Amino acid sequence: MKTPTNEKFAVVTGASQGLGKEFCIELAKRKNNLILISLPNQNLNKLSKEISRKYNVETVCFETDLSCDDNLKELTNHINHNYEINILINNAGIGGTRNFEKVDMDYINKIIQVNVKATSILTHQLLPNLKKQSDAYILNVSSMAAHTPIGYKTVYPASKSFIHSFSLGLASELKNTSVSVSVVNPGAMKTNPDVTLRTEKQGFFGKITLLEPQKVAKYSIKQLLKKERLIVVNPLMWFLTILLPSRIKVPIMTRILKREVSDA
């Protein structure tokens, strides 16, 4: 059934916590209606209602596993048939620090399915909807890890390199359309106590690079609406990551991340 509204919506994946939650709050503060998407059993409905009530915007939510192709097809078909969207934020992602030879196939497949495939498919399927708007925006969340291979992460930085390249390529392709594409490359964030603890185990380097998700979200949305293609939230780390040659930064980052892996 067609939703009885002409209001446009912003779509945010990985919306239940961390950076995704802060994106939703920042967009709601700007009076954007929201479509929140996350995995099941993450209290998304409660968050959706709280945001709607507090900021007086319309919100809807969908709990689904984006690693499943059928779920992606069902979700995008439903959105396209029922909502007009002018913002898409591909925030959902899977990471982790593990010994590569000790992980199972499902671990590898999930990272690729969510970080690479889901971002690509969601963007592809929702793009015609976005192009109907006079101004529309896509924000893809990459990572500082996109610019350096790292032992004990391996697949994750490679998946984020894809997001970085995909975003800038699509931005160029859509240059003369109503849709602008941006990519943000944040580092580690205080998204939850577990992530904070793991990052702080990296020592001094980890502690000084931890970012507040609220600040990242606020700055990212501001730059997104300015149609900034590459959004840099930590200039110092950005330049260090870009300028240091791989023969130096890869061993350093691998030694730092090894501290997170108790059985490495």
Residue range 187-209, pLDDT digits in tens: 777 665 555 555 555 554 555 56
Residue 108 is predicted with a pLDDT of 96
- 170 has a pLDDT exceeding 90: yes
Selecting among 137, 152, 156, 219, the annotated active-site residue is 156
Q: Where are the domains of the chain?
A: 8-258
Residue 246 is predicted with a pLDDT of 73
- 12 has a pLDDT exceeding 50: yes
Please name the residue that has the structure tokens 């059928």.
70
11 C-beta neighbours (distance < 10 Å), count: 27
DSSP state of 65: -
| Secondary structure class of 118 (helix, strand, coil) | helix
Q: Is-contact 224 167, C-beta < 8 A?
A: no
34 closest CA partner among 18, 53, 43: 53
Residue 112 is predicted with a pLDDT of 97
Share of the chain above pLDDT 90, in %: 69
Residues 6+ positions from 18 with CB-CB distance below 8 Å: 189, 191, 192, 195, 213
Share of the chain above pLDDT 70, in %: 89
Active site residue 107: no
Residue 206 is predicted with a pLDDT of 53
Name the CATH code of domain 8-258 (choices 3.40.50.720, 3.40.190.10, 3.10.20.30, 3.40.50.360).
3.40.50.720
166 — pLDDT class (breaks 50, 70, 90): very high
Residue 39 is predicted with a pLDDT of 96
More confident site: 4 or 236: 236
Q: Supply the mean pLDDT for the chain.
A: 88
Residue 263 is predicted with a pLDDT of 45
Residue 264 is predicted with a pLDDT of 44
Q: Is-contact 157 254, C-beta < 8 A?
A: no
Residue range 71-87, pLDDT digits in tens: 999 999 999 999 999 99
DSSP-assigned letters across all residues of 219-264: HHHHHHHTT-SEE-S-HHHHHHHHHS-HHHHHHHHHHHHHTT-TT-
109-123, 127-141, 232-246 — which is least confidently predicted? 232-246
- 248 has a pLDDT exceeding 90: no
